[in-house]
């Protein structure tokens, strides 16, 4: 049995994870962390430092401001952790690298298997199109999402830059009356509205033809499913920084 501490347990994704984990025969939540008081079938705490319950792995789907404390907690206890929270600052990402020398850390800007396969596809086709095609990314999310552009859009943009000969400059939205839109730029555009779970489109626009790679999230279940897979995977690791691509490759 894999015992899980769930950080952000009463949030949108936390509630989805509660349901999904309850359906897993080999996993259980032994403690939940959330800044808001809530009732559950397991002990709950408003801060992770207040939790003294033994576990095998932490899943964090909270807010970026809560992540440093989660990382410190896991480093102190040599406890594997899945960081599924988005909007992380550069300082937090550096902290993850440091903590990964003390315990196993799994991080992906998007927990969807499909998105990570899309990133792999981008790395394959981009070198063929680089010399003649403009590349733009459009992402759409619900109106409650706080960060823009999404971490997933940046994940996909980084996949492009992993594959090109000359690194592209990210342009966040375009405005003005005298734009040149050179091939050296990669435009990233954010849309917020309604209850859109998440949509990402990578556009390759070349001479007389356009290629679009699209991923549409129909529910939050895909992110919860990825986090569950990540927890099972990372619970068997001791130290190191892991991501969904490594999980896919090892699977």
Q: Which residues are catalytic?
A: 141, 145
DSSP H or E stretch at residue 104: strand 104-107
Please tell me the total number of residues recorded for the chain in this structure. 251
Q: Name the pairing type of β-strands 198-206 and 134-141.
A: antiparallel
Dihedrals phi, psi of 160, to nearest 5 degrees: -60, -50
Distance of CA 111 to the CA centre of its chain: 5
Q: Give the chain's end-to-end CA distance (angstroms, integer).
A: 20
Indicate the DSSP class of residue 219: S
Strands (E), 20-128: 27-33, 44-45, 57-60, 81-83, 104-107
Q: Give the tokens for residue 81.
A: 């952790």
């Amino acid at each position: 049995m894999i015992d899980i501490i769930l950080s952000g347990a009463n949030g949108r994704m936390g509630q989805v994870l509660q349901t999904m984990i309850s359906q897993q025969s080999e996993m259980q939540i032994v403690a939940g962390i959330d800044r808001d008081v809530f009732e559950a079938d397991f002990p709950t705490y408003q801060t992770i430092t207040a939790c003294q319950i033994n576990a095998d792995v932490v899943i964090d789907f909270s807010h970026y401001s809560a992540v440093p404390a989660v990382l410190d907690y896991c480093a102190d206890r040599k406890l594997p952790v899945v960081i599924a929270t988005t909007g992380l600052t550069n300082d937090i990402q550096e902290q993850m690298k440091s903590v990964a020398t003390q315990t196993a850390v799994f991080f992906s800007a998007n927990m969807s298997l499909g998105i990570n396969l899309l990133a792999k596809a981008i790395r394959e086709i981009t070198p063929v199109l680089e010399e003649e095609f403009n590349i733009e990314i459009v992402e759409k999310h619900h109106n409650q999402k706080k960060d823009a552009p999404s971490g997933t859009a940046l994940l996909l943009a980084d996949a492009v830059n992993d594959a090109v000969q000359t690194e592209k400059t990210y342009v966040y939205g375009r405005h003005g009356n005298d734009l040149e839109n050179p091939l050296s730029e990669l435009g990233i555009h954010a849309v917020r509205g309604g209850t859109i779970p998440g949509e990402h489109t990578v556009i390759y626009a070349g001479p007389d033809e356009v290629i679009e790679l699209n991923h549409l999230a129909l529910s939050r279940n895909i992110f919860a499913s990825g986090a569950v897979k990540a927890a099972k995977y990372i619970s068997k690791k001791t130290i190191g920084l892991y991501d969904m691509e490594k999980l896919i490759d090892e699977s």
